[in-house]
Structure 1
Amino acid sequence: MLTADRLIAAAIMAMSAYFMWHATILPIGWNGMTGGPGGGAFPFWLSAIMFACAAGILIRSYAGKTEYSGNFFDPETLQSVATVAIALVITIAVMSWLGAYVALPLFMVWYLKIFGHHGWLLTAILSIGTPIFLFFFFEVTLKILLPKGLTEPFFIPLYAAFF
């Protein structure tokens, strides 16, 4: 297992370094013209965080602070990972048609309530609160438009209020 940890951590670090290098094609600093970060800021800094996390895994594997018990990939775990991966692919596939603000809450309801067996209160709070947060964070604050799909007409009054 330690060999797998080390190989995967090294691969993620290499991939992160490539993403960081590729993100510098666009400006990664603050863009005074748009009043927000440059186009490469989020890819660069998210890749840097991913690099740091993978480096932490690599360092931890050499420090001897990892303990494994049992099989890492048992059939139940593989089935759960595959189920969530398929649900994410479906969510991404319908995002351009339904829009991010419908597809993401549908995924969250499925993931929290049906797959995770959480209560309706938590499911409702996260499924409603997340799209609201995403709208204000990306569209209002950063002025990055997310796909709306069929719901585009419903956002015209919000655009009039915030832009």
Structure 2
Amino acid sequence: MEIPSVIAQRRSLLLAACALPVALWGCNRGDSGAAVKAVEIDPATTCDFDGMLLADYPGPKAQIHYADAAAPVFFCDTVEMFSALLRPEQVRPVRAVLTQDMAHADWNQPRGHWFDARSGFYVAGSKRHGSMGPTFASFAAEAEARKFATEHGGKVLRFADVKPEMADLGGGSQHDKHM
């Protein structure tokens, strides 16, 4: 075997080894290129976490479109959405994350007004509760989030500002008046 061909083979293997993690990272980012359309909830739509009927509860809802699934996974609360996305074991590639713009959706019976959750603004710690008690009120525009925080209290955050410890699912039963 000639030395130049050994070097060429090693160089090819090294490039292939480097390309694999980059390719996998690209697949895991969720950038499929195709726009994902929101799926509207209906009276039978249930939450992936707890089986609750989304239509029966107030506050913003969410849906995650995974790359390996045809149908979205629904959440009856934005806290559940953040919990699902921020768990360390979350490794499924995500195509889209959608939530409702509460500047336009009715808080008590939210329908429609879906937007890309990753571009949104969230109000944490307001007096308004969702299906599981305290929630992150979701808004497509920062000005609307700030207006909501002025009226109902809370702090305005960007999607990236929400940390895993803030998406605590432990307190929901304390606020459920039906239990």
TM range (shorter): under 0.3
Task: Tell me which protein shows more helix as a share of its residues.
Answer: 1
Task: Tell me which protein shows more strand as a share of its residues.
Answer: 2
Q: Normalised by the size of structure 2, how large is the TM-score?
A: 0.20
Q: Normalised by the size of structure 1, how large is the TM-score?
A: 0.22
